[in-house]
């Protein structure tokens, strides 16, 4: 069986592995790019505490597929069912899990990042708890977007937000654009996006942002305050992972506003603690998702509240994953939002 496996920095290969759902479409995530450029970071170089697996790892944690076989004792699924995989792995016993925060497990892992099972393969076996049924109205390519949209749904759910509030999204990459769609789906009508790329500013407008700002050469925070009557925004979502983005998010907040940090950081950022104190600002982290987030996103797509097809900017074959996938996202990032690998192609 073919599988795209991560061997180390800049090294992804199509390997033959033992056959253990039939994946249909698999998205390349920002975390996959982090691994490709600077890894291993999340991918374990030593045995993972839950899976026991280490490099090389089969990639692919944003994916949909079709049930080909069910194990003995599995109920609720039949051959031919369309599913999306919820890939997070947790121990269910640590202090975080004991509080119900399985997404923040102390030994957290992911199918496609921490185990030999991954969506970028011809076949994959997963525990039934990881498979979530898709309604027939959601095609499998759209199903592959459920995971990143669930990240966004969870992030938006982590903050106090009223319909009348203005939200600020820093960075219009895939997660930033997903957050814009979720905000719109939740009835937020005033959404400001800050993004350096002209093409991604255009994407942000098409996905529901009401204002888009180019932070190059201007004071983006001052522009945000001007757009909000000098009050600032109620909530900012930091999706850029760079110091300037976090600075803009914090400076653009109103008194007692909340910044939700969604991006993954390679270096520790600096935070203006005095501003947090004197303006009573809040800082919240958001990681991954819960089952409820997946279910809410599927319902929103099925009802048409979220229409994410524009996020798909390319579909490629598994054989082209390095040149037309990873390298395209690095060298032509302004051109792409979500590249899907069509496993059947």
Predicted model pTM: 0.94
Sketch the domain layout of the chain as residue ranges. Answer: 2-145+308-342, 152-285
Common-topology check for domains 2-145+308-342 and 152-285: no
Of the CATH numbers 3.30.1340.10, 3.40.50.620, 3.30.70.260, 3.90.180.10, which one belongs to the domain with range 2-145+308-342? 3.90.180.10
Classify strands 338-342 and 312-317 as parallel, antiparallel or unpaired: parallel
- Phi, then psi, of 43 in degrees rounded to 5: -60, 130
**Side-by-side strand order, sheet with 253-261:** 211-213, 190-194, 166-170, 233-238, 253-261, 282-285
**Side-by-side strand order, sheet with 22-27:** 131-133, 82-85, 62-66, 22-27, 338-342, 312-317
Can you point out the beta strands (E) in 94-223?
Answer: 109-110, 131-133, 166-170, 190-194, 211-213
Classify 152-285 by CATH class: alpha beta
Could you give the CA distance from residue 24 to residue 119 in angstroms, rounded to a whole number? Answer: 8
- Phi, then psi, of 277 in degrees rounded to 5: -70, -55
Per-residue model confidence as pLDDT tens for the chain (345 residues):
576 777 878 888 877 544 348 999 999 999 999 899 988 989 999 999 999 999 999 999 999 999 998 888 888 999 999 999 999 999 999 999 999 999 999 999 999 999 888 999 999 989 899 999 999 999 999 999 999 999 999 999 999 999 999 999 999 999 999 999 999 999 999 999 999 999 999 999 999 999 999 999 899 999 999 999 999 999 999 999 999 999 999 999 999 999 999 999 988 999 999 999 999 999 999 999 999 999 999 999 999 999 999 999 999 999 999 999 999 999 998 999 999 999 987
> Residues 12, 20: contact at Cβ < 8 Å?
no
The DSSP element (H or E) to which 257 belongs, if any, is strand 253-261
């Amino acid at each position: 069986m073919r599988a795209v496996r991560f061997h180390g920095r800049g090294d992804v290969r199509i390997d033959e592995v033992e056959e253990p759902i039939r994946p249909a479409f698999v998205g390349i995530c920002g975390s996959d790019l982090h691994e490709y450029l600077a890894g291993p970071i999340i991918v374990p170089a030593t045995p993972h505490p839950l899976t026991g697996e280490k490099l090389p790892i089969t990639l692919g944690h944003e994916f949909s597929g079709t049930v080909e076989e069910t194990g003995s004792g599995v109920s609720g699924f039949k051959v031919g069912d369309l599913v999306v995989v919820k890939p997070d792995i947790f121990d269910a016993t640590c202090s975080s899990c004991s509080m119900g925060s399985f997404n923040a497990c102390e030994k957290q892992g992911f199918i496609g990042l921490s185990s030999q099972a991954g969506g970028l393969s011809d076949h994959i076996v997963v525990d039934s708890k990881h498979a979530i049924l898709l309604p027939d109205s959601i095609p499998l390519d759209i199903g592959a977007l459920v995971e990143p949209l669930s990240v966004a749904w969870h992030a938006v759910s982590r903050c106090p937000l009223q319909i009348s509030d203005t939200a600020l999204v820093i960075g219009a990459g895939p997660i930033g654009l997903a957050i814009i769609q979720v905000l719109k789906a939740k009835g937020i009508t005033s959404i400001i996006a800050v993004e350096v790329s002209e093409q991604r500013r255009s994407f942000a407008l098409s996905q529901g942002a009401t204002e888009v700002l180019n932070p190059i050469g201007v004071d983006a925070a001052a522009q945000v305050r001007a757009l909000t009557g000098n009050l600032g925004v109620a909530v900012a979502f930091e999706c850029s992972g760079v110091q300037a983005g976090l600075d803009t998010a914090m400076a653009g907040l109103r008194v007692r506003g909340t910044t939700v940090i969604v991006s993954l950081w390679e270096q520790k950022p600096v935070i203006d603690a005095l501003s947090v104190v004197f303006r009573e600002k809040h800082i919240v982290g958001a990681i991954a998702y819960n089952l409820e987030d997946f279910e809410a996103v599927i319902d929103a797509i099925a009802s048409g509240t979220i229409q994410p097809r524009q996020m798909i900017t390319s579909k490629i074959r598994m054989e082209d994953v390095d040149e037309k996938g990873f390298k395209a996202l690095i060298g032509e990032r302004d051109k792409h939002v979500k590249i899907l690998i069509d496993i059947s192609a």
